[in-house]
Amino acid sequence: MHDIVDLRSDTLTLPTPEMREAMARAEVGDDVWEEDPTVKRLEAMAAERMGKEAGLLVTSGTQGNLVSVLAQTAPGQEVVLDLDSHVYNYEVAGAARIGGVQMRPIATARGFLAPDQVREAVRPANIHLPVTALVCVENTHNRHGGSVCTPEQIAAVAEVAHAAGARVHLDGARLFNAAVALGREPREFARPVDSVTFCLSKGLAAPVGSVVCGSAELVERARRLRKMLGGGMRQAGVLAAAGIVALQRMVDRLREDHVHARALADGLAGVPGLRVDPAAVATNIVIFGVTHAAGAAAAASRTRALVEGCAAQKVKVHAIGATSIRCVTHKDVDGADIARAVQAIREIAAGWGP
């Protein structure tokens, strides 16, 4: 059990002692000159895991998604993606501001575009319309509670997009969670797409970084774009060393996070004033709703009180909407922490009355 139970995000993971040791001993060079051996090793490992020709270390998942979009589009073109996707909601409209591309968000049931939705969204040849250049998919899906789509679902979408002349990018910030949950290899999810990103700094617990993988040509374009965005990090091997440990040591233990997330959902199921479906919890994210018979405004007030009440008991949770709370499990949360969080939330909800 930890002094503070922090369930706000898996970005809050602290590097392991092995990571810190690897960082201290890392062999480094100037990565902008492509002379950092530790960065090169990480990028090669990542590319091999994804079944791609090349990899590129970037500062964050947001930067990875941005350079992937920019490398595969031109100003005035269009990107098709899910309405709740991270690229559309949480990346400061970077693709629109910097790349001049238009986003076409599509509402989906569980965060994953269906082939028919992509087929319908692709623009026909018409001088009045933008060209559909890229389709983005997200796996696991953040705003849909860590939901997972299969490699076959991704392949079906990619087939439609490629037939229409569009490329496909996979925002795989938590792709290793999806792979572990389904017992599949990461490269199976990445095989149908043209570019893929994954985060080292979430469940894999490295302090900084994501990796973009794709063809050698695409990665070379992304490298130039990374430089344009200020992402040339010089002796970045100090960071890459932690990423190597993350890939070697931290993937299999993601199963523990999934078990803890399901235990959290099970513990909250049936609590009056809360709406949670344990069966929908596939990975390490639990999103639950707060309700009130008096309506949305009263439920929103309860939500704020719940977040504040939990914090007072040293349990940190995150409101992702007026009446929705997200909890994310990670390596720095154990079974005792989950029990403590459940108890705190139950005690607060018990005081709400009918």
CA 90 remoteness from chain centre: 11
- Look at the alpha carbons of 289, 292, 293, 294 in this order and tell me if their dihedral is positive or negative: negative
CA angle 146/179/191 to nearest 5° reads 110
Residue 122, token pair as written in the block? 């692709």
- Residue 166's SS3 state is coil
Condensed to tens digits (0 to 9), the pLDDT of residues 224-250 reads 999 999 999 999 999 999 999 999 999
112 vs 156: CA distance, rounded Å: 11
- β-strand partners of 286: 327
Q: Where in the chain is the domain with CATH 3.40.640.10?
A: 15-249
> 48-76, pLDDT tens digit by residue?
999 999 999 999 999 999 999 999 999 99
Does the pLDDT at position 352 exceed 90? no
Q: Stretch 11-34: mean pLDDT, rounded?
A: 98
pLDDT digits (tens, 9 = 90+) for 250-301: 999 999 999 999 999 999 998 999 999 999 999 999 999 999 998 999 999 9
What does pLDDT average to over the chain?
97
The C-alpha atoms of residue 122 and residue 104 are separated, in whole angstroms, by 10
CATH 3.90.1150.10 in the chain, residue ranges: 5-11+253-350
Instruction: Look at the block and give the residue holding tokens 């028919």.
Output: 116
Quick one: the chain helix, strand, coil %, rounded to 5? 45, 15, 40
Matching CATH number, 5-11+253-350, of 3.40.50.80, 2.60.40.1840, 3.90.1150.10, 3.40.50.10860: 3.90.1150.10
pTM higher than the cut 0.85: yes
At position 15, the amino acid (one-letter code) is P
| % pLDDT > 70, the chain | 99
Burial class (CB in 10 A: 0-12, 13-18, 19+), 131: middle
For 15-249, CATH gives 3.40.640.10
Please give the pLDDT value at position 351.
85
Is a pLDDT exceeding 70 seen at residue 354?
no
